[in-house]
Amino acid sequence: MRAIALLLNPMPLLLNVSGETQGLLQRMYRQSRHHQVRQRAHCVLLYSQGMSIRELLTVFPVQQKTIYNWLNAWEQGGCAGLYNRPGRGKKPKLNAEQKAQVRRWAAASPRQLKGVIAKIKETWDIDVSRETLKRVLKACRMSWRRMRRVPAKHPPSADYAAKRYALEWLKRLDAAGVIALYYLDETGFTLEPPIPYAWQTVDETLGIPSQKSKRFNVLGFMHRQNGLESYVSEQSVTSDVVAACIETFFPQVEKPTVIVMDQASIHTGQQMRERRDEWAARGLHLFDLPTYSPELNLIEILWRFMKYEWIEIEAYESWASLKRHVEEMLVGFGDKFVINFA
């Protein structure tokens, strides 16, 4: 083999690279979607410009034999020689049909891979490591991430479809400036934080302060254009509080205003029922979402961003720190803290 001969008696290769070909190599080096092709094109380009083999070894973290193989491939095949030939490399352990079955097994048991590995061995007598299985699942468009809590029950399909259709029309009217559309909901913060993901060194696990505490309650009226009116309290939020907040934040309305809210008991209490007609008479309407449909209330997205994205770890060091951070997020919403409700 010529590459072996060159290793035993290294002599410079004479590559004939025209100016036009150098331009082609430049494009391959900068634009090819294959890392190996970019690397090989770069090597040939540098060698054609006078860089020695010894100097190339300081640029590319490969063996001397590999450099010669790249140059020989270029000399013998030109641009095509820089691409891997079909059939090269380690053969996959699983074919396309087997990978599809592995995906179904993983979907049926999403939290444990040991059972999937056992089924692969039992069904096809193929040994795969946990890391190999992870690569297969990623290639099947699956990823390891936190699950999400969802309602235990589902809304009646007819009611859900009708409400969702009506809500879409309300969004269009709001976008056209015909009405003002707000989303109402409540949430709470304590010194027992949700556990977030974070980049950490391999040999260290980051800690987040956690302790028992009372609840810091937040009631909010959110507009799609990152507008927010909020009320905070260390006391419980009741139906009377919700009604009082509506009176406070919407004493008068310049155009028909719709407040979207779920059917929590504090939204359907006596105070709320008694004032519906009065509010409607002055252009303030309440839109009840179907039961078990939090995904239709956009303010839920705001709460999720506050708890999992925006709040700093230092917020959980003390009660005063928690209150300060929560209030900063509420005040800064629409300016420092923004959500794109596209």
C-alpha to C-alpha distance for 207 and 210, rounded to whole angstroms? 9
Determine how many CB atoms are found less than 10 A away from the CB of residue 309.
11
pLDDT at 87: 63
State if pTM tops 0.85: no
Q: Which two tokens stand for residue 313?
A: 């770890």
- Total domains in the fold of the chain: 3
The answer to whether residue 134 sits within a structural domain is yes
Task: Examine the domain organization and report whether 282 and 179 are in the same domain.
Answer: yes
Residue 185 · residue 263 · CB < 8 Å:
no
Task: Summarize pLDDT for 225-265 with one digit per residue, the tens.
Answer: 999 999 999 999 999 999 999 999 999 999 999 999 999 99
Task: Examine the domain organization and report whether 36 and 114 are in the same domain.
Answer: no
Which of 49, 82, 115 is at the close of a domain?
82
Task: Examine the domain organization and report whether 304 and 164 are in the same domain.
Answer: yes
88 CB burial (10 A radius; 0-12, 13-18, 19+): exposed
Lowest model confidence (mean pLDDT) among 192-201, 217-226, 253-262, 323-332: 192-201
Task: Examine the domain organization and report whether 309 and 247 are in the same domain.
Answer: yes
The answer to whether residue 288 sits within a structural domain is yes
Structural domain for 135, as ranges: 96-139
pLDDT at 8 over 60: no
Read off φ and ψ for residue 302, nearest 5 degrees: -60, -45
pLDDT at 19: 76
Task: Examine the domain organization and report whether 174 and 322 are in the same domain.
Answer: yes
* H, E, C per residue of 231-279: EEECCCCCHHHHHHHHHHHCCCCCCCEEEEECCCHHHCCHHHHHHHHHH
- Rounded mean pLDDT of the chain? 88
